[in-house]
């Protein structure tokens, strides 16, 4: 059901719209227009109205945790990574974060920024979220190195890595998500100006998910391999508290989290040559339904002990889910990746992949054991190569009047 409120009974079918012409669309379109209280003579006027409404959706900026993590993923995402332009004091960094907090909170509520050069572009937040992250240099500049959270560390060099400097490192992260790419682009440009007294751009990763209107809440999106990606993820606040958010014992960091951001290129050219059976075997799940190879529905629990008539594991030994399966609760984390597609590279091969973003309360204990197991052996490595790697501390959220990072920088 479209968010504008039309029921499926009186919605105009795609075919009606495609063939156009008054006769084909007349009756149902007029009913739809009536349902909106419009006097629209054409169905696209009514549909235009529905789109406007979903663009008005707002995600709260203020709160115990920063938004953009537990928030259901938006259809577009940007990870804008900055480095220090020059040495800055704790006060200077706090000043930038105060201004950035005010501007980000305004944009997320659908208001233009105070120093906005194009206020019209802020009118449709479409679930805009802005999430700030700190690299270790912020802790050293603010003379707060002792406050680097427990377990926060770079990912050790892995044998599968072919890291490029241009996609790695960084001192400040501004992660932005929205269902409206225009709003997102505007927010990104505006916030880059707001932090520019101290920070300059290092790299920007731009990604997308399937159009949000295409999936129902709780439904898993597909990645560019066609796989349902995100089946095993924390689903409610209890699981987020266990796996993602730092607890009260972490002092200033309570309500924060740690982000592993990796750019992973995907070799679509060779992946495309596989049939459905091999694609399913590589992951250990049916490529179409997302069900484990031992089940029938996406959310069935995989049976890792099941053998086929030849005595071989039904979920192959080197499949991605067998190798990544987290086993103990201690190793679980949130994966919230976006796809990227930059056309073709200089070799005329698809320049596509995953902006892999994992959020965990402790990178060393929870994330690295899983990553090392996958680097050691995972069928998916035949078609994937990590080309970028950064880690960020995501400070807790704040209340109105406060600022992101206040418990560290005040
Ligand atoms: C391009 C790279 C990758 C692709 C295409 C990919 C794809 C997938 C897919 C399709 C699933 C099964 C459905 C699901 O539970 O989401 C999955 C599961 C999983 N992946 Fe990945 N993945 C990638 C990289 C990684 C990396 C780098 C890690 C961590 C270091 C990781 C950790 C996991 C975990 C923990 C699961 C859930 C396992 C379970 O408990 O069943 N993946 N991945």
| pLDDT, tens digit, 9 for 90 and up, residues 367-395 | 999 999 999 999 999 999 999 999 999 99
Classify burial at 62, counting beta carbons within 10 Å of its beta carbon; exposed 0-12, middle 13-18, buried 19 or more.
Answer: middle
400, burial (CB in 10 Å: exposed 0-12, middle 13-18, buried 19+): exposed
- Cα 193 off chain centre by: 23
The closest-lying atom of ligand 1 relative to the alpha carbon of residue 230 is: 16
Q: What is the DSSP string of 353-394?
A: EEEEEEEES-IIIIIHHHHHHHHHS-GGGGTEEEEEEEEEEE
Task: Supply the pLDDT for residue 43.
Answer: 53
∠ CA 229-234-236, nearest 5°, is: 130
- Cα(268) to centroid(ligand 1), Å: 17
The closest alpha carbon to 129, from 81, 169, 76, belongs to 76
Q: 154-160: long-range contacts at Cβ-Cβ below 8 A with a sequence spacing of 24 or more?
A: 154/389, 154/391, 155/260, 155/262, 155/363, 155/367, 155/368, 155/371, 155/389, 155/391, 156/368, 156/372, 158/371, 158/372, 158/375, 158/386, 159/375, 160/375, 160/381, 160/384, 160/385, 160/386
* 204 and 78 Cβ atoms separated by less than 8 Å: yes
State the distance from the centre of ligand 1 to the C-alpha of 159, rounded, in angstroms: 18
Atom of ligand 1 nearest to the CA of 290: 13
SS3 for 177-231 is: EECCHHHHHHHHHHHHHHCCCCEEEEEEEEEECCCHHHCCCCCCCECCCCCECCC
**Pocket residue to mutate for ligand 1, from 320, 323, 371, 373, most atoms within 8 A of Cβ:** 320
**pLDDT (0 to 100) of residue 218:** 74
Residue 338 belongs to what H/E stretch? strand 338-344
The minimum-distance atom of ligand 1 relative to the CA of 266 is: 1
Reference 94, options 131, 129, 130, 144; nearest CA is: 144
> Could you give the 3-state DSSP secondary structure of residue 253?
helix
Helices 22-35 and 43-55, axial angle in degrees (round to 10): 40
Tell me how far the alpha carbon of residue 284 lies from the centroid of ligand 1, in angstroms. 11
User: What is the model's pLDDT at position 329?
Assistant: 67
pLDDT score for 12: 35
Instruction: Give the pLDDT of the chain (410 residues) as one tens digit per residue.
Output: 233 333 333 333 333 333 333 333 333 433 443 344 444 455 555 555 555 467 889 999 999 999 999 999 999 999 999 999 999 999 999 999 999 999 999 999 999 999 999 999 999 999 999 999 999 999 999 999 999 999 999 999 999 999 999 999 999 999 999 999 999 999 999 999 999 999 999 999 999 998 766 677 778 999 999 999 999 999 999 999 999 999 999 999 999 999 999 999 999 999 999 999 999 999 999 999 999 999 999 999 999 999 999 999 999 999 999 999 866 667 899 999 999 999 999 989 999 999 999 999 999 999 999 999 999 999 999 999 999 999 999 999 999 999 999 999 99
Q: How far is CA 201 from the centre of its chain?
A: 20
Rounded Cα gap, residues 177 and 208, in angstroms? 9
Q: Residue holding tokens 């050691």?
A: 376
Cβ-count burial 221-249 (b if 16+ within 10 Å, e if not): bbbbbebbbbbebbeeeeebeebbbbeee
Beta bridge partners of 260: 358, 391
Q: Among positive and negative, which fits the CA dihedral 362, 393, 336, 370? A: negative
Pocket perturbation via mutation, ligand 1, pick of 221, 295, 324, 355 by most ligand atoms within 8 A of CB: 324
Distance 285 CA to ligand 1 centre (A): 11
Query: What spacing in Å lies between the alpha carbon of 287 and ligand 1's midpoint?
Result: 13
Residues 335 and 233: their CA atoms lie apart, in Å, by 7
CA angle 116, 117, 121 (to 5 degrees): 80
Q: How far is the CA of 229 from the centre of ligand 1 (A)?
A: 7
pLDDT at residue 331, rounded to an integer? 86
232 C-alpha vs ligand 1 centroid, how far in Å? 8
For residue 222, the CA-to-ligand 1 centroid distance in Å is 12
C-alpha to C-alpha distance for 308 and 60, rounded to whole angstroms:
50
Three-state secondary structure call for residue 233: coil
- Report the pocket of ligand 1 as residue ranges, CB < 6 Å: 223, 225, 227-232, 264, 266, 283, 285, 320-321, 324-326, 354, 356, 370-371, 374, 380, 384
């Amino acid at each position: 059901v479209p968010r504008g409120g039309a029921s499926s009974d009186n919605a105009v079918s795609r075919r009606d719209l495609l063939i156009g012409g008054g006769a084909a669309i007349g009756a149902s379109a007029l009913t739809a227009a009536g349902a909106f209280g419009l006097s629209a003579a054409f169905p696209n006027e009514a549909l235009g109205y529905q789109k406007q409404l979903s663009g008005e959706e707002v995600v709260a900026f203020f709160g115990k945790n920063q938004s953009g993590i537990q928030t259901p993923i938006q259809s577009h995402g940007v990870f804008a990574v900055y480095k220090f332009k020059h040495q800055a004091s704790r006060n200077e960094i706090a000043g930038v974060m105060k201004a950035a907090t005010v501007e980000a909170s305004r944009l997320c509520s659908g208001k233009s920024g105070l120093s906005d050069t194009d206020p019209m572009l802020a009118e449709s937040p479409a679930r805009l979220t802005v999430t700030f992250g700190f690299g270790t240099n912020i802790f050293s500049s603010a003379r707060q190195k002792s406050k680097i959270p427990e377990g926060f560390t770079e990912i050790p060099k892995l044998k599968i890595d072919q890291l490029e400097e241009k996609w790695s490192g960084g001192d400040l992260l501004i992660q932005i998500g929205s269902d409206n790419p225009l709003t997102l682009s505007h927010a990104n440009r505006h916030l880059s100006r707001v932090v520019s007294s101290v920070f300059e751009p290092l790299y920007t990763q731009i990604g997308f998910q399937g159009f949000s209107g295409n999936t129902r809440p709780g439904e898993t999106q597909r990645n560019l391999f066609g796989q349902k990606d995100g089946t095993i993820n924390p689903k409610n606040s209890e699981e987020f508290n266990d796996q993602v958010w730092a607890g009260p014992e972490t002092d200033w960091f309570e309500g924060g989290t740690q982000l592993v951001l990796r750019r992973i290129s995907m070799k679509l050219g060779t992946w495309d040559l596989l049939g459905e059976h091999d694609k399913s075997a590589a992951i250990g799940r049916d490529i179409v339904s997302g069900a484990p190879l031992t089940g029938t529905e996406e959310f069935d629990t995989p049976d890792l002990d099941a053998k086929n008539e030849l005595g071989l594991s039904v979920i192959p030994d080197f499949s991605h889910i067998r190798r990544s399966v987290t086993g103990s609760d201690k190793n679980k984390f949130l994966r919230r990746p976006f796809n990227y597609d930059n056309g073709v590279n200089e070799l005329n091969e698809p320049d596509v992949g995953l902006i892999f973003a994992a959020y965990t309360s402790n990178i060393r204990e929870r994330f690295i054991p899983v990553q090392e197991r996958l680097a050691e052996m995972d069928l998916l490595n035949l078609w994937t190569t990590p080309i970028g790697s950064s880690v960020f501390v995501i400070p807790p959220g704040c209340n109105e009047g406060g600022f992101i990072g206040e418990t560290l920088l005040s």
